[in-house]
Amino acid sequence: MDSKNNLIVDVNGLVKRFPIGFSGFFTALKGIDLTVSEGEFMGLVGPSGSGKTTFLNIIGTLDKPSEGRVNVLDRNAGNLTPRQAAQLRKEEMGFIFQSFNLLPVYTVFENVEFPLLLLNLSYGERKKRVMETLEWLGLTSKINSRPPQLSGGECQRVAIARAMVKRPKLVLADEPTANLDADNSHRILKTMVKLNEELKTCFIFATHDEKVISYLKRIVHLEDGRIVKDISRQKSELQ
């Protein structure tokens, strides 16, 4: 099989510079090469300021490379117009953030349904997908609750449901356990492993949380804007 066919992310010579002051630049990513294949469960790991979020944002088409080629889901991310990037995100990617980003006045059902409204599916199809996804996440009894009535762990499970409901090939998760206690962290991580294994969804994390790291099948270490180690692990080495 041609391995190019199942690449979700293909990055070559990525450099990211941010303008600072009047004429200066800060170089956050200093020449990154990386490929990620379908169904991986991997993380960008490294100290604060090493470039994890910057890299994740570029993979997620939320920011553009300064130099280099970044292919995501067979598109050249550097050449997408804002409209094309938004289309790619809404159709093929899921995002999970540390702050959950749920809509507080809407119910759990409505929060999870939201990405499907952007895809013009019928109500019947939306309802079927939302209910199925809430069942995977163990949230069926909470469909009519609103985020302020939920615990942090439940809110993050709603956020995972919202990211998964359109069955994206790629989910990007930036410090998804930062606001959770240890029990809830393990619970949502186990859920994500299960979704990765059953649906073959590719997960890319940005994290320095040891709990998250203990579940990763591949760890890409960043230091000062460069990849310094890329380690794949056997199932027996994982949580």
Ligand X SMILES: Nc1ncnc2c1ncn2[C@@H]1O[C@H](COP(=O)(O)OP(=O)(O)OP(=O)(O)O)[C@@H](O)[C@H]1O
Q: Which residues bind ligand X (CB under 6 A)?
A: 18, 20, 26, 28, 46, 48-54, 206, 208
DSSP helix/strand/coil, 134:
helix
Residue 56 or 189: the one with the smaller Cβ distance to ligand X is 56
Given the DSSP bridges, would you call strands 67-72 and 7-20 parallel, antiparallel or unpaired? Answer: antiparallel
Instruction: Report d(CA 108, CA 144) in Å as an integer.
Output: 6
129: left (phi over 0), alpha (psi -120 to 50) or beta: alpha
Residue 40 or 175: the one with the smaller Cβ distance to ligand X is 175
- The nearest distance, CB 175 to ligand X, in angstroms, is 7
- The nearest distance, CB 110 to ligand X, in angstroms, is 30
Residue 1 or 20: the one with the smaller Cβ distance to ligand X is 20
Residue 82 or 124: the one with the smaller Cβ distance to ligand X is 82
- The nearest distance, CB 221 to ligand X, in angstroms, is 11
Task: Label residues 65-100 b or e (16+ Cβ within 10 Å = b).
Answer: bbebebbbbebebbebeeeebeebbeebbbbbbbeb
- The nearest distance, CB 174 to ligand X, in angstroms, is 8
Q: How far is CA 197 from CA 7, 27, 41, 165, 201, in A?
A: 17, 36, 9, 16, 8
Residue 155 or 206: the one with the smaller Cβ distance to ligand X is 206
First to last CA, the chain: 31
- The nearest distance, CB 65 to ligand X, in angstroms, is 13
Place of tokens 């995100």: 89
